[in-house]
Amino acid sequence: MASSSSNIDLSGATYCVVTGASQGIGRALAAEVAKLLGPKSVLLLLARNKQELSTTADLCKTSNVEVLYESVDLSKATNAEMTDILNKALKGRKVTDFATSIIFHNVGSLGNLAIETSRMENVEELRKYYDLNVFNVISLNTQFLKIFEDVEDRVIIVNITSLCAIKPMSGMAYYCSGKAAREMYFRVLAEEKKHIKVLNYSPGPVETAMIDFVLDEAVNDNLKDVFTSFKNQGTLLKPEITAKKCMKVLQAGKFSPGEHVDYFDDE
């Protein structure tokens, strides 16, 4: 990893957003970051499943952090709805009241694994996939930056990416192309806004519901073999383990703007 000027300190009052926070990596990230936030911090959890969000919120409770959660379908949310959710969590406080403003873009899905890449032609299905995984991630990020425009030098953006963003994986054209587009957006943003800290973190193969989805739905034999091997050999990472590594990488601050950092990269 390239070297950055200083460590990242989250011990002050922090406004923090985690998307896809109802399960898996998102839940683990929320619980991990909650331990690090200073007094008068706000942690906003976003996902569709309100009941599971409530469970995540319970895991995040500390004396320093006000934990809020909102059930929202980020594949369909409008710019106005996103802005309203973000502003509501401020509860009348000014953006200058926060030493740091950070957003974790974790929301994501695998897409259609039951069709060969050479047979992809359902544009409406592709559009819905990109709405959730790319377009509305960009839109939510834009609303976040608009709100914190006057304190951009305090903003941190973490995009949960994948090795699939930079390396093709047979049978995962939806996922690979979506991750690649999403990561490149954040890399361009980091190039333009060098005062904003932007990290593309790849969590490695993680033991989540997505693993079973691949094994159940994939038609590509190579893809099924890879994920079966992960599961049988016990090489899958626990969400809590990769979440800890993500926060360690973030706090060390040694990544260059928009850099892709993998769980298995040397520190």
Q: What is the mean pLDDT of residues 118-142?
A: 97
Q: Based on the number of CB atoms within 10 Å of its own CB, is 200 exposed (0-12), middle (13-18) or buried (19 or more)?
A: buried
Q: What are phi and psi of 169, to 5 degrees?
A: -125, 120
* HSE-CB of 157 using CA atoms within 13 angstroms: 34
- pLDDT above 90 as % of the chain: 86
Provide the pLDDT for residue 93. Answer: 96
Report the amino acid identity of residue 244: K
Provide the pLDDT for residue 4. Answer: 45
Provide the pLDDT for residue 266. Answer: 76
Q: Is the pLDDT of residue 228 over 70?
A: yes
Provide the pLDDT for residue 230. Answer: 83
22, 9 contact by CB (below 8 A): no
Cα–Cα distances in Å, from 233 out to 172, 228, 242? 22, 8, 18
The residue ranges of DSSP E strands in the chain, in sequence order, are 14-19, 41-47, 65-71, 100-105, 155-160, 197-202, 259-262
Domains and CATH numbers, the chain: 14-206+239-262 (3.40.50.720)
Provide the pLDDT for residue 215. Answer: 86
* pTM assigned to the model: 0.95
Q: What is the mean pLDDT of residues 159-164?
A: 97
Other beta carbons within 10 Å of 218: 20
3-state DSSP call for residue 257?
A: coil
40, 16 contact by CB (below 8 A): no
In tens, the pLDDT along 183-205 reads 999 999 999 999 999 999 999 99
Provide the pLDDT for residue 97. Answer: 97
CA nearest to 104, candidates 152, 144, 64, 66: 144
